[in-house]
Chain A
Amino acid sequence: MTQSNPTVQKPVTPLAEFWFYFRQNRGAVIGLAYVAFIVMMALLASLLAPHSPTEQFRDFILAPPAFSDGGSTQFLLGTDGVGRDILSRLMHGARLSLLIGLVIVLVSLVMGICLGLMAGYFGGVIDTAIMRISDILQSLPPLLLAIAIVAVLGPSILNAGLALSLVYLPHYTRLTRASVLAERNRDYVVASRVAGAHAWRLMFITILPNCLAPLIVQATLSFSNAILDMAALGFLGLGAQPPLPEWGTMLATAREYIQSAWWVVTFPGLAILSTVLAFNLMGDGLRDALDPKLKQ
């Protein structure tokens, strides 16, 4: 007879378990790596960037990128219509785009969680009021609503961020409410009530942690949406105002060179595309790792 091993198996920490499932998805890991790369780039933009993002080199207007005919290593990705280095602008633009994405997601996430918790927990009139307002917000085309809000508040990067936060708010409210409804009648919530917990404690400490998984996924996925919509608003001239190096605004000012200087419009577009793709891949991996239904 073989001797059974008496050592107790160490419980797997939630983080280790999460990483195990996240690692299964190769695209997600690549996405995560790329996101980390972009974040580093944004953080170190002032050290890494070869030039100032707003300095105009009048002698090098529309200089082609280094690897094409007539390019020089001074401007690796070429210069734009007023002689600014595109690489430097993209690096500084990453800073702006990520920051805006983060702020939009955080603002709408926090507000959505609060509203969703109240709607789900209290029910009744509060629930109806919050959810009907969400319905109204969701029944308008999102970009149109954002444009309308910016048009009222005036075009600036802050107002565009506010408008987009408001547009994304109903998603989080709904998601939170649905999870809260599922959790609020569980025995552990009742047990907390028996132990004397008050409503706010029940909502934020007992119930909320159990609702976080879908919210984290939604937040990552809409991070890329936020960047995309911000770029769209920038393209329409309603977001960041020149000379701020925002990716969407860069695209907008590059419109007239589409035929003559392809690099001015291509690189900001590629930056947006790759970043959004990386965030989506990462979000998919997160969902796989956090959703118990998808686990084997």
Chain B
Amino acid sequence: MSLLSIQDLSVTFGPFRAVDRLSYEVNAGEVVGIVGESGSGKSVSSLALMGLIDYPGKVTANELNFEGMKLLEMKDKARRKITGDEIAMIFQDPMTALNPCFTVGDQIMEAIAVHQGGSRKERKLKAVDLLRQVGIPAPEERIKSFPHQLSGGMSQRVMIAMAIACDPKLLIADEPTTALDVTIQAQIIDLLLDLQRQKNMGLILITHDLALVAEAADRVVVMYAGQVVETGPAAEIFARPSHPYTEALMKSLPESSQGKARLDALPGVVPGANDRPSGCLLNPRCPYATDKCRTEEPELIETDGRSVRCFTPLTQQEDAA
């Protein structure tokens, strides 16, 4: 049984579908990367999973199971207990994700107190130990620091310490390195992956960074305008992208444009609430679009463990050629 299984998860704000029939699974000890441009519904889907979508947003799903428990049918309180104990989340901007009014020690100890209890002394020891695990020097001193006294990288380490404080089974990292500079990014990702392997957690890694996903993830979900356009094992997808959107994302990496004057960028932007094209949502931006793409909407079709939402997947064309 998989740790988390999502079937046809949709999040709607009025008539606008921010997430449209999203399905994926995460197994224990597995890293799933979710990639896509800004506005493609990556973050919203993870918020929906945690039950953080407020009115007027509406969440529906055929299945939203965590260890076989149906999250959508649970009472609010029971659900909070599960999400708090078993699922943890790391945010994009560590500088705003810590409460400025309390020391980092207090905040970590609070998380431990709520889910595990123990005396103040035990919790303090545990907090120091957690800070040491995430590689913060002089943790005994640092637990007395306030968030504004820490750098971005340090704050993100503290966030990770808080996230793993109650030994979650699933960790959602929502663009955990976007607000950090490049050298720190690598350190934070290494730390995350280390901890993930040590504790055999499931990890959902939401990011723009394709190189990172290619390196770290077991499986990839590529999202565009709220829909999954391609999923499959990371290695295969990056070796042979099947959907034109995946291909375009990879072409837009600086590495793939070496020797060229300009970067191969995908023209246009993700369609918003009021400018959705008919047919395939990508068709105005897709170099391969045909008349069929402009009128009919493609379905997600699975072959050999990979799914793709396209009438003319690139891999099929290659095979035919």
Measured CB to CB, the residues of A under 8 A from B are 8, 11, 14, 124, 186-188, 190-198, 206, 209-210
Q: Is the CB of A11 within 8 A of B145?
A: yes
The yes or no answer to B144 lying at the interface (CB within 8 A) is yes
How many CB-defined contacts (below 8 Å) exist between A and B? Answer: 62
Is there a chain A Cβ closer than 8 Å to B80's Cβ?
yes
Q: Give CA–CA (A209, B98) in the complex, Å.
A: 13
B114 and A210 within 8 A (CB): no
Residue picked from A8, A14, A187, most chain B C-beta under 10 Å:
A187
B263 at the interface (CB under 8 A from A): no
Residues of B within 8 A of A206 (CB): 99
Decide if A190 touches B101 in the complex (CB within 8 Å): no
Check if B100 is an interface residue, CB within 8 A of chain A. yes
User: Contact between A194 and B93 (Cβ–Cβ < 8 Å)?
Assistant: no
Minimum CB–CB distance from B48 to chain A (whole Å) comes to 13
Is B91 a contact partner of A191 (Cβ separation < 8 A)?
yes
Check A11–B146 contact: CB distance below 8 A: yes
Contact in complex: A196, B80 (CB < 8 Å): yes
Looking at chain A's contact residues, the main secondary structure is: helix
Contact indicator A198/B80 (Cβ below 8 Å): yes
Instruction: List residues 101-160 of chain B with CB under 8 A from any CB of chain A.
Output: 101-102, 111, 114-115, 138, 141, 144-146, 149, 159
Central interface residue in A11, A14, A191, by most chain B CB within 10 Å: A191
Also in contact, A11 and B99, with CB within 8 A (given A195-B111, A196-B83): no
Verify if B276 is at the interface (C-beta below 8 Å from A).
no
Q: Count residues on chain B whose CB falls below 8 Å from chain A CBs.
A: 33
For the complex formed, measure the closest distance between the CB of A117 and the CB atoms of chain B, giving whole angstroms.
Answer: 15
Complex partner residue of A209 from B80, B91, B101, B162, CB under 8 angstroms? B101
Q: How far is the CA of A252 from the CA of B316 in the complex (A)?
A: 96
- Residue B295 lies at the interface, judged by CB distance under 8 Å to chain A: no
> How far is it, in angstroms, between the C-alpha of A124 and the C-alpha of B50 when the chains are bound?
23
Q: Does B84 contact A (CB under 8 A)?
A: yes
**Shortest Cβ distance from A210 into B: residue:** B101
Taken together as a complex, chains A and B put the C-alpha atoms of A11 and B147 apart, in Å, by: 11
Given contacts A209-B101, A210-B101, contact A194 B88 (CB under 8 A): yes
In the complex, chain A residues whose CB is within 8 Å of the CB of B101? 209-210
| Distance in Å: Cβ of B318 to nearest Cβ of chain A | 43
Does B96 contact A186, Cβ atoms closer than 8 Å?
Answer: yes
Closest A residue to B88 by CB, please name it: A194
Q: Are A8 and B138 in contact, with the CB atoms below 8 A?
A: yes
Q: For A192, list chain B residues within 8 Å (CB).
A: 99
Given contacts A186-B97, A187-B93, 10 further A-B contacts (CB under 8 A): A14-B146, A188-B99, A191-B159, A195-B111, A195-B162, A196-B83, A196-B84, A196-B115, A209-B101, A210-B101
Interface pairs (27), CB distance under 8 Å: A8-B138, A11-B144, A11-B149, A186-B96, A187-B91, A187-B92, A187-B93, A187-B96, A188-B96, A188-B98, A188-B99, A190-B97, A191-B89, A191-B98, A191-B162, A192-B99, A193-B50, A194-B52, A194-B88, A195-B84, A196-B80, A196-B85, A196-B115, A197-B114, A198-B77, A209-B101, A210-B100
B144 contacts across to A, CB distance below 8 A: 11
5 closest cross-chain pairs (CB), A and B: A196-B84, A187-B97, A209-B101, A196-B80, A188-B99
**Min CB–CB distance A24 → chain B (angstroms):** 20
Pair B84/A194 contact, Cβ less than 8 Å: yes
B81 at the binding interface (Cβ < 8 Å): yes
By a CB distance below 8 angstroms, the chain B residues around A190 are 52, 91, 97
Using CB atoms, name the residue of chain A closest to B166.
Answer: A195
With both chains docked as a complex, state the minimum distance between the C-beta of A74 and any C-beta of chain B, in angstroms: 55
Q: Which residues of A contact B141 (CB under 8 A)?
A: 8
- Is B96 in contact with A196, judged by CB distance below 8 angstroms? no
Whose C-beta in chain A lies nearest to the C-beta of B82? A196
Complex CA distance for A186 and B147, rounded to whole angstroms: 14
